[in-house]
Chains A and B, each alone.
Chain A
Amino acid sequence: YTLQGQKWHHVNLTWSLRTRRLDKVDHGWVRSDLNKAFQVWAKYSKLTFREVNSESADILVFFEKGYHGDGYPFDGPGQVLAHAFFPGTGRGGDAHFDEEEEWLVADKTSKDGTSLFRVAVHEFGHSLGLSHSSAEDALMFPWYQDLKSNFELPNDDRIGIQVLYGAKNDKIWGDIPAYRPTSQRPDPSTTVPTISSTARTVITKSMTSITNPITPVTYTTSRPMPPRRPPVAVVVDDKPDFCNTSFDAVSIIRKDTFFFKGKYTWRLGPKGVYAGYPALISRLWYNLPEDMNQVDAVYERLDGKIVFFIGRQYYLFDGNNPLRGYPKPLTTLGLPEELDRVDAAIVWGHNSKTYIFSGTMYWRFDDETGQMELDYPRDISSVWRGAGYNIDAAFQWHDGATYFFKNRDFWKFNDLRMRVEQEEPRSIGEFWFNCT
């Protein structure tokens, strides 16, 4: 979701339909559909909407055609169906619908018509401060789509509106713990809810400061392993500086490279780091544990599902959404009970097998049996020569090479020679983020 930057400073909003003459549709049904659209947003937020008959209502709704005095003329039937103004004084919040469309009201359907409710619920999202989202199933996707009969506000929109205005009740907050209103957060002193006036969404939330060193986790396996070195991070505005930090996990997800550190993730594409990042991991993958301070490993399975390893458990996601039945213990994968965590997980393109790394050992996963293959674990150094032990992350990049990360350095592994290309590691910041 994307926040425009403006929001209403009160939650009891009023609205008014200011068009008296509607040629093709019944005035009463129009008001009914508009009210229904407002209630979609009210259901999931602290907002309330009351219809009034007044020019001074917060949100005025007009049906207009062609040039109508706001610099955004309508184009006749089809194409652009409506637009709305972001919150503010004057025209702020108002919604304009193209009078020349074939509007359908009261849940009527037709091959040639457009549901007023469907368009209105999108436009009122703008009236409340939401910009367009590129999430295809979101209401705020720019191109209108039909709604299912059992319609529920998609997560993308729901989180967006709740970030702006808070959720209706604790039950909904329970779904998204990171987005509780200030009054419900455990430590208000750590909360800085800000919305960038330049929009494009950077929301700082209640979170444990990662300036505090993370307690090292100690292995308790029969095979002695060294404790993990506390992550090293230079912190600017409570977010790690990618030029001067190690990473908890790195993975190719949907063709982009995601770097995970603490509660944040960066997304690296062909043109560099995407705008809007780092983002809270919980904003992209919902319902991860509230007290999660870091992920251990992440990888995208061949079927597109995304696996997160956190401590002794792993989570499975379909896109952003957690799948039922998870998290599950690592032991259900055939990993030993003594294992406190995994360090890295990759699908290796040369044989499409999944490899799990932890400490000095690695396992190979058999997708058919859902268990680790026999003859594993093996010593990392016996096969992944030069990659070292106790790695932070590993992944196979678009160039076909496998990369191993540890502290602030990485090694490129030559998959044909089966050894690292050079003994000396290279700097993660310099290579991956163009840091100098």
Chain B
Amino acid sequence: RPIQESNNTSRRARSTPIYEDVQGYLMKFGYLPESDLETGNNLRDGSQLHDALRTLQTFGNIPITGKLDEATKQLMKRPRCGVSDISPTAGQHRTKR
């Protein structure tokens, strides 16, 4: 049965979940290769994540630390476009109607 929502729940607060899945975010927007989704390799070494975070921080014009710091978390929470930053999302422009 659907859970009845409280009238006090702020729509915006509910709508901005913290991106706990950092890898998912980085893959979604082109900072980590999505190929691992196919191979099942979810384990990445620290340097891969570090480099991906640095690139994200560079793109987002926030301090480049390579770490998931507060500024990066805030950036990841901001409303954004779904198109990939690093390269056109594979297939996106090729998909036929």
Contacts and interface: CB of A to CB of B under 8 A. Distances in A.
B17 to A, nearest CB: 7
B14 interface: yes
Contact of B11 (A79, A102, A143): A102
A318 to B, nearest CB: 16
Interface in A95-146: 102, 111-112, 114, 119, 122-123, 126, 131-132, 134, 136, 142-144
Interface in B52-88: 58-61, 75, 77-85, 87-88
Contact of A112 (B11, B92, B97): B11
A6 interface: yes
Contacts of A142: 29, 59-60, 80-81, 83, 85
B11 A132 contact: no
B29 A78 contact: no
B82 A199 contact: no
A88 B94 contact: yes
Interface of A (DSSP majority class): loop
A143 B12 contact: no
B1 interface: no
Contact of B81 (A132, A134, A200): A132
A81 interface: yes
A91 B79 contact: no
- Residue among A70, A72, A90, A102 with the most chain B CB within 10 A? A72
Contact of B17 (A72, A78, A136): A78
Contacts of B44: none
A114 B93 CA distance: 26
Given A80-B82, A131-B83, A90 B95 contact: yes
Given A82-B81, A112-B11, A132-B83, A71 B91 contact: yes
For the complex of A and B, 3 pairs with smallest distance between CB atoms: A77-B15, A78-B15, A83-B82
